[in-house]
Structure 1
Amino acid sequence: MTEAVPVAGVGALDASATLAFEGGEYSGADIDALVAGLAETLAARGVRDGARVALMSSNRPEFVLAVRAIWQLCAAVVLISPAWKRDEVAHALAVTAPTHALGDQSVLAELMPMLSLDEPIEPARGHRRPLAPDADALLVFSSGTTGLPKAVRHTHGSFTAAVEHWRRALDFTAADRIQVLTPPSHILGLLNIELALRSGAWVRLHPRFELERMLRCIEADRITVEMAVAPIALALAAHPALETYDLSSLRYIMWGATPVAVGVAETVTRRTGIGWMPAYGASEVPVIACNPVCGARLDSVGRPVPGVDVRIVSLESGMPVETGHTGEIEVRSASRMAGYLPAAATEDAIRDGWYRTGDVGYLDPDGWLFVTDRAKEMIKVRGFQVAPAEIEAVLHGHPLVADCAVFGVPDPADGEAVVAAVATTAPVTTTELTTLVADRLATYKRVRRVVFVDQIPRLPSGKVLRRRLEERYGRTSDE
């Protein structure tokens, strides 16, 4: 059964925690003082209990300070990706209705009054207010299969439970040292930052992913826990001078967001001696399963972490199936989201307290979880969920596009790549269509390949037969 997790909220910051960025470091006391100062500024601008505050920021220490300042005011933070463009940001604001905003992106400032994170923050003496476990803490965005991104609501209780589950899964302590190269606006980035700060550990935040800098920092900072998504793993395996770096401080490399490419993982281990630890989660339930620190295997996402219940249900009836049988993966946990915005989307996602992941898999007799397919149609690019409907809506805006359907194909670097099948009323170039999407949506949603078809296959109900398109055009993106 799931377990209750005590919530300390902002007060969970351990005094011995250290946040490093570029050439500087922030101690726990530094963070506390700057958070208090920023909270005073936000309060003076009218942020109150229960408010929602949009945050659209690049990777920088002020992002961390902003999240914690919003929490200190008992408000909720709406995390908006800095990669998003105007239409995407406008949709996020419409869904979550924040009353205030701060960040460093001009697109947000164009849509609502925004406090710039480039403004100096004056330290102050603040009081850590107790936070209600059932109060909203953050809203992150997750794409569905039939519409634009939904906001995932996490309370202080659910997010704190996720941090504690992650701490146990990684066997993480104050002695560990970690670096964050993924966007903190993504649930995994924020989860890793908070894991370190609440554990009293040392964490380096990078402005962006650069392989050489990552390797140099592992060596110089004596990083003990490294996180990798598929592009990072592929870059490591292909690095011509990987053996020249001293990576001996690493206890393991965690692989998440996409299925493990076994050949890539084995290549890195052979060249460095460092093993991998696959894990599995979602924005809605950030930590579901993880391999053990010792004895990890590459063919499974691991066993459900303590405090998380996993069951497999029939794709037809929704009833639990026997061990070893394949079906949809459902999860019950204190770390489960409170629901979606729009709220109507929650009804189909949670059934009798169980979150329906949309992933297909099975549990073996020893409790190992295997993910074999996805019932949902979202495309997972570098760990980000991409809704086909969102890209289709942009393509349908072209006057010569009669119909279209978007699907994913395997990609060794990104996990999956986006392919668009398009029927037109007159000749259109591939570049014209890919540029249309690139101008409207984030980079990770770009269309990698366009296939022109006479007709999009559909059921009489109008539902796209994506499987038929995948079978015909679904070769890997580099073939």
Structure 2
Amino acid sequence: MVQSARPVPALLSSRAATDPDHEALIVAGTGALTLAEWDERSDAAAHTLLDQGVRPGDRVALVFGGRDWLDYAVSWMAVLKTGAVAVPLSDRLAEPELARLIKHCGATTMIRSGDELGGPTGPVPVKVDPLGYAQILYTSGTTGQPKGVAASHANLTSPPVHPKRRPFAHSRHLVHAFPIGTNAGQVMLLHALTAAPTVVTLPLFTPARFAALVESYAAGTVFVVPAMAIELLGARVQDRHDLSSVLLLGSAAAALPPKVAAELTEAFPNATVANYYTSTEAAPAQTIMIYDPDRPGALGHAASSLKIADADGDPAAPGETGEVWLRAAAHSRAYYGEQRHDTFQDGWVRMGDLGYLDDDGYLYLVDRESDVIKSGAFKVSTIQVEAALHEHPAVSEASVFGVPHPVMGMAVVAAVVSREPVTLAGVRAFLAERLAQHELPTRLLCVDALPRNAAGKVIKRELRGIAEE
């Protein structure tokens, strides 16, 4: 296991030697980066960092925005070539939060968009430890303060990719719009290193620009988060763009509501729609679950790397709700600067979700453990209520959460973005045919947009704050 571990820069140098002119990364309207250019430019930048005093094990903060993917990719690789630890951070973070994260990871150097890192070319005289940390990613922080998740080089390069069987070989181009500093964005950056297609992104996601990008490159693979999928469908981009080239449409970061998944299969007529289930803590381990119209409530068929556990950590019976665990990669991740044993246990990673498997092994998510609403004697699944709200013809987006109630303990509140005016009475009447009485919202918030973090996840604590005002 240890013998097969490789540092990330070795992936680039070996592939650049055999396929130097392959375009690894394209940023629409900005430029492109071949493997050879990526290798040479990151060599030069690494020499500059070494001259500035960066040493193996140092943490280097990388503060970039979506327009800077090319420079970011070079800077990230340069940091890794020095043996230092890259800490990707979005340039959209408020300065106090940015300062807090930099202090937490102990970064001694910061690289921002526009910083010049040119230097002498040639091999970097550092032997990088494949078992040493390569990067620290901060979680989305939707339920609390972001936690730093440290990944080694061996974690990022596992499992190894066979040169003749590269991922997504059915595509010449893979299109995504994930932001820098997110786990999904880092996965796409690694795909630029290892996958068969060229990875294409754009500085800022809009439905029209994204669909035009898919069409212009005849992309065979597309990745979105549910919020992007909802925007694409709401804009009816399939009416103005040819999306028939897409054979795989992957959704990450959160579960697709069943209605949204069904509509995606219509908008992308030749695509298989798949839920990529993982977390910042569990990556690169994941289970890929194909949307099945015969089981619209299921996330998909679960791989053997996933289990449902009861309160004692033992496997739950089919149909029994428990905690969802994912088997970690051979070289697992860890929380930086923390000794936490409740998330990482015996080669498994606790996902923070509640769910169950049916008799055929299909995974049904019940809710985030922290989002379950305990109302009176009942437990309400916000995922289930949100799925029912998405079926409402006037509702384009929905988020459900609990707020304190003097009698019931917690009350169900729904926040919706609607295409036309809706009322609580009307929404409750619509949902009464789909949900139990205790699942019906007692309050309705109509908002122009749901608050989301950089990864596209709804920040429910902000909605809760509005509801409690």
Shorter-chain TM-score: which interval?
0.7 to 0.9
Structure 1: unaligned runs, 5 residues or longer:
105-116, 380-406, 424-433, 454-479
Match of 2:329 in 1: 334
Gap change, CA 1:180 and 1:452, over 3 Å in 2 = closer
May I ask how many residue pairs the two structures share in their alignment? 393
Counterpart position of 1:451: 467
Query: Does the residue aligned with 2:305 lie in a helix, a strand or coil?
Result: strand
1:43 paired residue number: 50
Match of 2:235 among 217, 229, 239: 239
Give the secondary-structure state (helix, strand or coil) at the position aligned to 1:447: helix
Distance change >3 Å, CA 200–CA 34, structure 1 → 2: farther
| Pair 1:155-2:182 in alignment | no
Please tell me whether residue 220 in structure 1 is matched to residue 235 in structure 2.
no
Does residue 94 in structure 1 map to residue 103 in structure 2? yes
Q: For 1:102, give the aligned amino acid.
A: I
For residues 223 and 256 of structure 1, what CA distance do their matches in structure 2 show? 18
Aligned-pair CA distance for 1:162: 6.5
Residue-by-residue CA offset, 1:147-173 (whole Å, 9 max, x unaligned):
5221011111112227869x99x9523
Question: Which residue matches 2:258?
Answer: 262
Cα offsets for 1:114-136 (capped at 9, x unmatched) = xxx34363572234865433210
Cα gap change, 1:320 to 1:48, in 2 (>3 Å): same
| Alignment correspondent of 1:190 | 186
Match of 1:311 in 2: 307
Q: CA deviation at 1:279?
A: 1.7
Shift of 1:297: 6.5
Given residue 338 of structure 2, which amino acid in structure 1 is its aligned partner? Answer: A
- On the 8 A contact 2:44/2:117 being kept in 1, the answer is no
The DSSP-based 3-state class of the residue aligned with 1:265 is helix
Deviation, 1:378, is 10
Partner of 2:413: none
1:47 and 1:75 in contact (8 A); partners too? yes
Change (3 A) 1:146 1:181: closer
Q: Which residue of 2 aligns with 1:30?
A: 37
Unaligned residue ranges in structure 2 (runs of 5+): 374-381, 391-395, 407-446
Q: Where do 1:91-130 residues align within 5 Å? A: 91-104=100-113, 117-119=114-116, 121=118, 124-127=121-124
Residues 348 and 142 of structure 1: is their aligned pair in 2 closer, same or farther, counting only changes over 3 Å? same
Q: What's the secondary structure of 1:161's corresponding residue?
A: coil
Name the SS for the 2:6 alignment partner: coil
Q: How far apart are 1:6 and its partner, in Å? A: 4.0
Q: Report if aligned partners of 1:237, 1:265 keep a CA contact under 8 Å in 2.
A: no
CA distance in 2, matches of 1:309, 1:261: 23
For each residue in 1:341-369, what CA deviation from the matched residue of structure 2 results, as whole angstroms up to 9, or x when unmatched?
3313x222122332111211123344333
Moved more, 269-278 or 443-452: 443-452
3-state SS of 1:234 partner? helix
Provide the C-alpha distance between the structure 2 equivalents of 1:296 and 1:159, rounded to a whole number of angstroms.
36
Instruction: Classify the secondary structure of the residue corresponding to 1:218.
Output: helix
Q: Give the 5 Å matches for 1:377-456.
A: 377=371, 410=386, 416=399, 445=459, 447-448=462-463, 450-452=466-468
- Aligned partner of 1:349 in structure 2 is 343
Task: State the one-letter code of the partner of 1:37.
Answer: A
Offset, 1:92: 0.9
Relative to structure 2, which stretch is displaced further, 68-77 or 122-131?
Answer: 122-131
Higher relative contact order (CA 8 A, sep 6+): 1
- Contact 1:180/1:227 (CA < 8 Å) preserved in 2? yes
SS at match of 2:75: helix
Which one-letter code corresponds to 1:12 in the other structure? L
Across the aligned residues of Structure 1 and Structure 2, the Cα RMSD in angstroms comes to: 3.8
Query: Hey, what does 1:290 align to over in structure 2?
Result: 288
Question: Residue 62 in 1 paired to residue 71 in 2?
Answer: yes
SS in 2 for 1:80: strand
Classify 1:253/1:6 alpha carbon distance in 2 versus 1 (closer, same or farther; 3 Å): same
CA gap of 1:451–1:121, structure 2 versus 1, over 3 A, is same
Aligned-pair CA distance for 1:140:
0.7
The question of whether the paired residues in 2 share the 8 Å contact of 1:278 and 1:298 is answered with no
Name the SS of the counterpart of 1:347 in structure 2.
coil
Change (3 A) 1:353 1:270: closer
Distance change >3 Å, CA 296–CA 66, structure 1 → 2: farther
- Percent identity between matched residues is 25
Distance 2:87 2:306 in 1: 28
Cα pair distance change 1:352/1:4, threshold 3 Å? farther
Alpha-carbon displacement from aligned partner over 1:174-219 (angstroms, at most 9, x marks no partner)? 8541123110210111101211322253112311112211111111
2:167, 2:196 within 8 Å by CA — same for their partners in 1? no
Tell me what 2:423 maps to: none
Q: Where does residue 10 of structure 1 map in the other structure?
A: 9
Change (3 A) 1:43 1:311: same
C-alpha distance 30-178 of structure 1, shift in aligned 2 (>3 A): same
Name the CA distance, whole Å, in 2 between partners of 1:210 and 1:146: 27
Normalising by structure 1, we get a TM-score of: 0.71
What residue in structure 2 maps to residue 430 of structure 1? none
Task: String of CA shifts for 1:252-298, please: whole Å, max 9, x gaps.
Answer: 21122122122222223224414311221100012421125999975
Q: Distance in 1 between matches of 2:126 and 2:197?
A: 23
1:142 corresponds to 2:139: yes
Q: Which amino acid aligns with 2:94?
A: K
Distance 2:210 2:298 in 1: 27
- The answer to whether 1:75 aligns with 2:84 is yes
